[in-house]
Structure 1
Amino acid sequence: MKIHLTLLNGTGYVFDANDYMELRTKHRIMGALVGTANSKGWSCSEAALPVELSKCETQLLIEEGIADLVSKTAALTAPPTDEMVQAYKAQFEASLMAQADALKAEKLRETERHVEKILQGKRNKLLKQGKPKEAAALTANDVLQEIANSVVFERQNALVELPSLHMTNHSARLCTDPVYDTSSLKYRVFHDLWLRGKFVSTGEAFGADFLVYPGDPLLYHASHIVIIQDAPTIRPMELICKVRLSVIVNKSCVFAYEEVESSKIAYQTINWCNPSK
């Protein structure tokens, strides 16, 4: 079964955690987590779903038949029907009630852990008030019932989804137009590296076109930076600059270009040699 990518900002987005894990573990497609994981704002170290795929990744998944790209614009911009609004309100209320029940259950679990100490404290208090009969009659169940009755769920502290009157499931239109030029050298290099079993991500942060990893980037650092050349020639000063850059970031420098005779993608790896060491 194909994975459905949602078209946003000209590329594919993944909103389902299972789809994301399948893309990452089975198809070596990483994308970038761009969701907000906390109330303090976005942080790259605490990012969450959705996952934004690059245009190269999106086009590759479509071309390989792994995923379909769909647009939900028409469904999300159309006013919701009365039935959809009522269903949303019912779902919202159910979510709040579930959180209230979870809060009460957690409070009771915590009370049960210390119920003997709480019970003894309440009995001592009643004895000081001159109520020995009430103190003797007090049981652990009375304490738990008192806690259950006192739990108040404040709705302003509830965890809620982004405000929307639209339900989770939407109708969508299949997008067949390419999101990236498949004849471009950059896409062909990305596709070729992927077919070779590599983990490939954008290399803009390192002054390159791509980064190549020996395994999942969660476990490995990038081993190579890939720089795309329109021609199999390069000026000496530019060559020195690119290779020195790879030395600084502790990676091998790979130049990718198209062979003139065969029109195939070729790679040239260059390492910096320091005779003084």
Structure 2
Amino acid sequence: MSNDPPIHLRVANKKAFVWDVEDIATLRSKHRICGVLTGTLPHLSQQNLFLGVPLVLLPEEVVLLVENEIAVLLDDPKAHIQPSVIELQKWRVKEKELQQLQLSKVTTALGTSPMMMSEEAIRKRKEREAKKKAAAAAAAAAQLEILLSVPSKDPASATSADTQVTVIIPASSRSFDWYNDSASIYRTIDSAKAAEIWEYPSTLHERAKCGVFRGLWEQGMYMGGGIKFGGDYLVYPGDPLRYHAHFSATVLESPTSSLTPMEIVAHGRLGTVTKKSHLLCGWDDTKKEASFLSIEWAGFG
């Protein structure tokens, strides 16, 4: 149980999202919950390497956080109220005022007017086009590199680069009058199920995954998705940004579940090839206990 205000997990289409950057940092640093970032980042070409908010949580992470009273579920679509025409008009007026305020701050810092800035931009664009034509006509690659590497002598551009400008970032949609989450918060998994915004866990296998996840988490482990390594989870001894996973884990619905010799060999060899041990995690749904057995490929003789 945590004494901090509960973190809001915003549920849409039976998935839980975290939009607040501070909440994401708290979940990772204080509660060992990593999730997966899925949002795009502006001006970043490799969107498959670095992603941004929102953070999508595994359903097992959601259940753990809610049961430990660290977080609450929030029906995000229900929290959005249809704004009236008057509210939209007021919002547009505020947005226009904010844009004018930002423009005035920038022009004051640069000591130029919007018209002068526009003319300056046009002049610089023409200069760039002229340089490109000259570079294309150059005879040698060395001369081309020298031409393109000549720094600009324009004093106005030097002043712009050295001037610090404060840009105001608008508040999130939660500050709008037409967003009200007070009537759509659910503090237990059962109440969220009754409202039909959440349904996990609903089967024995899902209960087993939640129980195993909690068992590993209570031992101080970090967990991530393990599908790429042949398991349900990857188990880390510390933050995945600093450590490699020690185990790939597979969840079994019972501690007495049968395994074929081929499955044991496959798990052992796959874990060894990926420099991990494979963790077989059994769940006793009667006793509500998890048991763990690690297997690793080894030579004979």
- What TM-score, normalized by structure 1, do the two folds share? 0.71
1:205 is the counterpart of 2:225: no
Matched, 1:223 2:234: no
SS of the equivalent of 2:234 reads strand
Q: How does 1:157-236 map to 2 (within 5 A)?
A: 167=176, 170-172=179-181, 173-175=184-186, 176-178=191-193, 179=198, 180-181=200-201, 184-231=207-254, 232=256, 233-236=258-261
Q: Do the aligned partners of residues 100 and 14 (structure 1) sit closer, same or farther apart at CA in structure 2, a change above 3 Å counting?
A: farther
1:111-130, aligned counterparts within 5 Å?
none
- The 3 A distance-change label for structure 1 pair 16 and 94 is same
Q: Counterpart of 2:12?
A: 8
1:110-141 per-position Cα deviation (integer Å, ceiling 9, x unaligned): xxxxxxxxxxxxxxxxxxxxxxxxxxxxxxxx
Distance 1:268 1:220, change over 3 A: same
Return the match for 1:45 from 46, 49, 52.
49
Q: Hey, what does 1:69 align to over in structure 2?
A: 73
Compute the displacement of 1:247 (Å): 1.2
* Residue matched to 2:163: none
Match of 1:116 in 2: none
Pair 1:95–1:253, CA change in 2 (3 A): farther
Contact 1:2 1:65 in 2 (8 A): yes
**Deviation, structure 1 residue 196:** 1.6
Q: Which amino acid aligns with 1:57?
A: E
Cα distance in 1 for partners of 2:24, 2:292 equals 30
State the structure with more CA Rg: 1
Pairing 1:27-42 to 2, within 5 Å after superposition: 27-39=31-43
Q: Which residue pairs with 1:251 in the alignment?
A: 276
Q: Distance in 1 between matches of 2:192 and 2:46?
A: 32
Residue of structure 2 equivalent to 1:117: none
Change (3 A) 1:259 1:6: closer
| Equivalent in the alignment of 2:28 | 24
- CA distance in 1 between counterparts of 2:50 and 2:42 reads 8
Aligned to 1:55: 59
Q: Counterparts of 2:279 and 2:107 in 1: how far apart (Å)? A: 55
Q: Which residue pairs with 1:265 in the alignment?
A: 290
Taking only the aligned residue pairs, the percentage that are identical comes to 28
Partner-residue secondary structure (3-state), 1:177: helix
Summarize the Cα distance change of 1:239–1:99 in structure 2 as closer, same or farther, 3 Å threshold.
farther
The structure-2 alpha-carbon separation of the partners of 1:214 and 1:98, relative to structure 1 and needing over 3 Å to count, comes to same
Distance in 2, Cα, partners of 1:56 & 1:103: 51
How many equivalent pairs are there? 233
Q: Is 72-81 or 57-66 further displaced after alignment?
A: 72-81
Runs of 4+ residues over 4 Å off in structure 1: 39-42, 158-161, 259-263
1-structure distance, mates of 2:261, 2:17:
41
SS at match of 1:58: helix
- Whole-Å Cα distance in 2 between the matches of residues 96 and 221 of structure 1? 49
Q: Secondary structure at the match of 2:95?
A: helix
Which structure 1 segments of 5+ residues have no match?
A: 109-142, 149-157
TM-superposed deviation, 1:206: 1.2
Amino acid at match of 2:53: L
Separation (CA, whole Å) in 1 of partners of 2:265 and 2:281: 16
Change (3 A) 1:185 1:259: closer
Which TM-score applies when normalising by structure 2? Answer: 0.66
Give the AA of the match of 1:200.
M
Bigger Cα displacement from structure 2, 167-176 vs 66-75: 167-176
Give the Cα–Cα distance (whole angstroms) in 1 for the partners of residues 237 and 94 of structure 2.
49
Report the alpha carbon displacement of residue 106 of structure 1 after superposing the two structures with TM. Answer: 6.4
Counterpart contact for 1:72–1:171, Cα < 8 Å: no
